[in-house]
A = this chain, B = another copy of it.
Amino acid sequence: MDKKSALAALAALGQDTRLEVFRLLVRAGAEGVPAGEIASRLGTVQNTMSAHLKVLDHAGLVRTERAGRVVRYVADMTGFRDLLAYLMEDCCNGSPELCQPVIQAVTCNC
């Protein structure tokens, strides 16, 4: 992942509504959630939510699956992984003890 993509992903997540959307989709798993349901669940008007979903999609954090008229949004964890890798690049080289907490946090639950 390049700098521009990482920046887009972080800026996308650094906004109240979009952060909630991403977490909602992470919890929802592989099935995803229809766009309209995302809007109603988070109490946001439809067109505003559509704009936010576009930002998340463009940032590579979600992907879409169309089924008829309904568009389901699904969290894209590979995009999220790439972001993580970018942020932690050369972390261990500099000082292994510094990134230790991060490893433990991710590995404990799974």
Chain A residues within CB distance 8 Å of chain B? 3, 6-7, 10-16, 19-20, 22-23, 26-30, 75, 77-78, 80-82, 84-85, 87-107, 109-110
Contact = CB atoms under 8 A, between A and B. Distances in A.
A56 to B, nearest CB: 12
A77 B94 contact: no
Chain A interface mostly helix, strand, loop or mixed? helix
Given A11-B14, A14-B14, A30 B97 contact: yes
A96 B19 CA distance: 21
A89 B15 CA distance: 18
A94 B10 contact: no
A96 B20 CA distance: 20
A107 B110 contact: no
Given A27-B94, A97-B30, A98-B77, A107 B109 contact: no
